[in-house]
Structure 1
Amino acid sequence: MRSLETFSLQLNEMNDSNSAVPAVDRADAVLQILASSSEPVNTTELARQTGFAKSTLYLLLASLEQRRWIEKKGGGYVIGLGLYMLGCAYVHFDNLQHIFRTAAAEYVAMHNEVVQLAVLQGGEVVYLAREDAHRPVRLVSDMGTRLPAHACALGKALLAQLSDEEVLKLLPTELVAITDRTITRHEALLAELAAVRRSGLALDQEEVAAGLNCFAVYAGETPTGRRIAVSTSIPTDRLDGEREKAIVQAIVRVAGQIRQRLSAHA
């Protein structure tokens, strides 16, 4: 029987943040490559990017395919249905998906504009859900899409919940410009976040896409501690002063409804 001292030592080693499980790391490396590609990736390219031996890679791909985490397509591999289903559990937990859909559907029915839900991960926002309008709009907010938090309204709404010190630690030293209107100076971003804290409203005025304005509001924290925000994105040519006021009031109501319903399920 192992001694308590030996067991404690092994437990500490397992909890060491520098330790890792090689098989998990290898699977993650492959999945990250597939997730970032818009086309199937073949084994030759996967071997080149990962540096894995062909024998190791083939065994790994077979295991991932068996679990339906990846699928063969054409001459390569893509993310599979099984992994998508696991990912969907993220928004179903906490009843978040239902709560969002209910509040967003009311907004879309009244204003016929899209509503989006996102969470902060590092220096990026990750889109969790979207309720579409009944007309086309140019967006990049499919579920799982990431955007730099400093550039979009959702990111600003979420960053505003942190202190300036936390924001600076979270963001890269160089803020990337997506359009010529994207904020790229940390001082300017912190000043805008201060304004968001005062008003409760975050704006993206053509900072992610030319001709597109976004309005975002912090929607609270789920019972498991996930901070979320909602936004609506509207082409500039569909906005005037009166409609902008109505849109802002409406997205504030959506955030309030989500916060209230999350509290009821806590």
Structure 2
Amino acid sequence: MSTSDLGLNQPKGQRNEMRMIARAAAVLRAIAESGTALSLGQLAKKTDLPRATVQRLVGALEAERFVITDATMPGVRLGSEVARLAALAHQDPRAVCKPWIQWLSDKINESVDLTVLQGDSAIVIDQVLTPHPFKIVTHIGTALPVHCTASGKAHLSQMSIDLAARILDKPLLAHTENTITDKEILLSLVGTDPSADRCTDNEEYVSGVVAVALPIRGLPSGNYAIAVSMARQSFLNRRLQIADALTTARGSIERSLGLDENA
């Protein structure tokens, strides 16, 4: 771990702020992991912090409703704000994803889609369109086939083999001469490392259009993916840049949702 990771290269005031946030997070984690209310003394022991520091942190957290105390029920418990924020993050991933798909579109100047698996299709539920005139346009609500789109392949990588086999157990339409219709090749995506090299639509859905996608891993509320679509030549000229930006955006989304980005 570098000194920058510890904030040691930051001005003293910023280091103090970072330390305070880390200590507040330690208090919240200690309560959450205990599964019950904890006294100030118990919190001090679990967090290895002075009791006076814990008391100040609890007071600040209680003011923001992250913890609650009640004279009739001794101890410190998690407050309503923790549950509210957790519910928002997991019920509507679009709210968390939106700033990052906007960042991704701005970074590479291409259109970005957010999709969710519904039935046997990848449904576009949000998007950011690049302002340049040669953009690739889909529409919110569009149902994309799983077997020949980058989003679909990202969804396949996160499925069980049984579900993928059921979805692919039908005639697969060849949209272009590049469309993969071999079910065994598509099933080989299941359970693989969901890298941008694997989740690519190489003119398989629309001639002249390439797309790259990554799944958002570990969301209990559904199978989600983000995808970048662009003209073939644009992809060939900037393949590594696009893959790196997509990976960065996916990692930021997963961290924002409290997911394990290495899942």
Partner of 1:219: 216
The one of 243, 246, 250 aligned to 1:255: 250
The one of 230, 241, 244 aligned to 1:246: 241
Mapping 1:39-188, distance limit 5 Å: 94-137=91-134, 139=136, 141-188=138-185
Partner of 1:52: none
Partner of 2:229: 233
Deviates more, 1:245-254 or 1:132-141: 132-141
2: CA distance between counterparts of 1:154 and 1:178? Answer: 16
1: CA distance between counterparts of 2:178 and 2:141? Answer: 24
Partner of 1:200: 195
Secondary structure of 2:141's aligned partner: coil
1: CA distance between counterparts of 2:137 and 2:165? Answer: 26
In the alignment, is the contact (CA less than 8 A) between 1:123 and 1:172 conserved in 2?
no
In the alignment, is the contact (CA less than 8 A) between 1:115 and 1:232 conserved in 2?
yes
In the alignment, is the contact (CA less than 8 A) between 2:111 and 2:135 conserved in 1?
no
- Partner letter of residue 251 of structure 1? L
Equivalences, count? 170
In the alignment, is the contact (CA less than 8 A) between 1:122 and 1:171 conserved in 2?
no
Q: How has the CA–CA distance of structure 1 residues 240 and 185 changed in structure 2, closer, same or farther, with 3 Å as cutoff?
A: closer
In the alignment, is the contact (CA less than 8 A) between 1:221 and 1:228 conserved in 2?
no
2: CA distance between counterparts of 1:117 and 1:162? Answer: 17
1: CA distance between counterparts of 2:206 and 2:135? Answer: 9
Unaligned runs of 5+ in 2: 1-87
Q: How has the CA–CA distance of structure 1 residues 221 and 136 changed in structure 2, closer, same or farther, with 3 Å as cutoff?
A: farther
- TM-score, normalised to structure 1's length? 0.58
Show structure 1 runs of 4+ deviating over 4 A. none
Q: Which has the higher helix share?
A: 1
Unaligned runs of 5+ in 1: 1-90
- Partner letter of residue 212 of structure 1? V
TM-superposed CA distance for 1:98, in Å, is 2.6
- 1:36-80 CA-to-partner distances (Å, cap 9, x unmatched) read xxxxxxxxxxxxxxxxxxxxxxxxxxxxxxxxxxxxxxxxxxxxx
Let me know the Cα RMSD of the aligned residues. Answer: 2.3
2: CA distance between counterparts of 1:262 and 1:219? Answer: 10
Q: What percent identity do the matched residue pairs reach?
A: 28
In the alignment, is the contact (CA less than 8 A) between 1:179 and 1:209 conserved in 2?
yes
